Amino acid sequence: MKSLLKYLKGYKKESILAPLFKMLEASFELLVPLVMAAVIDKGIEGNNKSYIVSMCLVMILLGLIGFVCSITAQYFAAKAATGFARKLRYEMFSHIQKLSYSKLDTAGTATLITRMTSDVNQVQSGVNMFLRLFLRSPFIVIGAMVMAFYVDVKVAVVFAVAIPALSLVVFGIIFANIPLYKKVQNGLDKVLLITRENLNGIRVIRAFNREAEEIEDFDEKNIALTKIQLFAGRISALLNPITYVIINFALVILLYKGAVRVDTGYITQGDVIALISYMSQILIELVKLANLIVTLTKAAACASRIQGVMEIPEGMETEGERKEGAEKETGEEQDEQGRTTESSNIEETMENDEAVRFDHVGFTYEGAGGEVLTDMDFSVKKGETVGIIGGTGSGKSTLVQLIPRFYDANTGSVYVDGKEVREYEIEELRDKIGMVPQKAALFKGTIRDNILFGRKDATDEMIEEAIDVACAKEFIEAKEGGLSAKVEQGGRNLSGGQKQRLTIARALVRRPKILILDDSCSALDYATDAALRAGIKKLSYHPTVFIVSQRTASIQYADKIIVLDDGEIAGMGNHEELLKTCQVYQEIYDSQYKKEGR
């Protein structure tokens, strides 16, 4: 929790004023029992009506002043808490945006969503309650005890015994609940995960008639969450009854001792009423303090989980950052110089017209048992079209994702324009690349907004060229509003082919040096696919194109085809060469174009 309090720095004034105004409110509240005692002892006993009226007006004034102080404190506390949550969400979102694919895969989408929503809201509530009550409640508890000793020392001994007993119960129960709240949040993660998976895969679930099994699985996790919540709730529920038992027992003793002291003439009846009022105030504030501690316990558990996300390393260091880190370690300088020299030698041997080069690259996903890619060694010249094909799970998508540094190679190096990708700043590298992923991801807005996502400053001419090459012009013009037509979240109001063509247009509007189509034409018919490839060939800026596909028809006219099999290069060459020399390619081709007698 402490590490997250830095986001309150911009709200120092509010963080100070909120508890101060609460203490002012508490100060006026502590005066009320004394006024009540005066009304009883002087006004009622002396039948002095004017004194009673004047004291009642004083109590109303104290109440109004306390009310104004309370509202002011609530305002400042709410402003600080909401501002704190805004900054925290912003920093979390910014940090998540910088995480590499590997780190995102490890963290999990459901977990990150829970941290961004439920956990942040819980921490916000904790900050709000803390600013309002962390000084007020202890101040009233201690102040009430001091005032009780001011009224009568001997009777006030009851307070000195009751308050530590209450504190022991309150803090004991709360600290027992701390690990339970962490389990509650983890259970919530599991429920959110299965909910998200079911909502995303509802069509698949219904197609395979698995609704009953999924409901049963959800029910199991939901019941587990309910059980741990109930267990934590039962322990928390012990607070009020135990504290009320202690308070009521203290009140009984207080009344007995007070009656004896009144009878002997040491204190007045008004003093006894004041003492009872102070005991009631202590009860109320301890219950508030207990609720505050419950909230802070939940907030601390959530803050720990949020901090866990913030501490995930981004996983994408530039070469300069790696060198700086290496130089801080004793004995690393010579090794670093050796690596730098080796890298320089490789770059010197690269031809000037090479756009991309893989130099004996190997890659393994975090936590995976073996390599996904092994010894990827090839180069691609500027303006070339490269087709990548292979069976499911052969590493096609992973291969092209190493070019924009969505992942970092574990061994070997990837070069773009003669420079190792880790030597680029991320923004500089990705500005060179237009990426169309397997899953067409569109955002709520207009068609124009989605295309401009690729390049904010794109002109109308650039947009027209992009949608024309992507074969999207016809269906866009057919829609009411054209480029201003609405796109629903995820592109729900578009077909699969329309979504793919829009994502291709979004990449083309960047006018990238390297265009990567990662199986992004699977929903297009053969004629549209061919027209798209022909349009890309005619582009004036001649990008280097990587086409990942399951269809040989999409890549057979590529300048170079790379055939992958279980993470290794099974063959490389043009279409005719591979038909003669690569068995894997032959099998793929035959399965799609089998002819009689062949």
- Distance CA(228)–CA(234), nearest Å, equals 10
- Closest CA relative to residue 109, chosen from 218, 9, 214, 197: 197
Residue 321 identity: E
| Long-range Cβ contact pairs of 241-247 (< 8 A, separation 24 or more) | 242/169, 242/173, 243/166, 243/169, 243/170, 243/283, 243/286, 243/287, 243/290, 244/283, 246/162, 246/165, 246/166, 246/169, 247/162, 247/166, 247/279, 247/282, 247/283
- Distance CA(226)–CA(222), nearest Å, equals 6
Helix (H, G, I), strand (E, B) or coil at 494: coil
- Distance CA(181)–CA(192), nearest Å, equals 16
Alpha helices in 10-48 (DSSP H): 12-38
How far, CA to CA in Å, does 310 sit from each of 10, 84, 167, 306? 20, 15, 35, 6
Q: Report pTM.
A: 0.68
The sign of the dihedral angle between the CA atoms of 162, 168, 173, 174 is positive
Helix (H, G, I), strand (E, B) or coil at 382: coil
pLDDT reported for residue 330: 43
pLDDT reported for residue 299: 85
The sign of the dihedral angle between the CA atoms of 76, 82, 83, 85 is positive
DSSP 443-455: -SEEHHHHHHTT-
- Distance CA(577)–CA(323), nearest Å, equals 44
Alpha helices in 311-376 (DSSP H): 319-327, 333-349
Residue with tokens 């390049």: 455
- Distance CA(496)–CA(66), nearest Å, equals 63
Tens-digit pLDDT profile for the chain (598 aa)?
A: 567 778 888 888 998 999 999 989 888 888 888 888 888 878 787 778 888 888 889 989 988 998 999 999 999 999 999 999 999 999 999 888 888 777 887 777 777 888 888 889 989 998 998 888 888 888 888 888 888 888 888 888 888 888 888 878 877 877 787 778 778 878 887 888 888 888 878 888 888 888 888 899 999 999 999 998 898 888 878 877 888 888 888 888 888 888 888 888 788 888 888 888 888 888 788 778 777 877 887 788 788 888 888 888 876 665 555 555 555 554 444 444 444 444 445 455 555 688 999 999 999 887 776 788 999 999 999 999 999 998 888 889 899 999 998 888 889 999 999 899 988 888 889 899 999 988 888 888 999 999 998 888 899 899 999 999 999 888 898 888 888 999 888 888 888 888 888 999 999 999 999 999 988 887 788 888 889 889 998 888 899 999 998 888 888 889 999 999 988 999 999 999 999 899 999 988 888 876 444 4
- Distance CA(120)–CA(122), nearest Å, equals 5
Q: 291, exposed or middle or buried, with CB in 10 Å at 0-12, 13-18, 19+? A: middle
> Are 385 and 531 within 8 A, CB to CB?
no
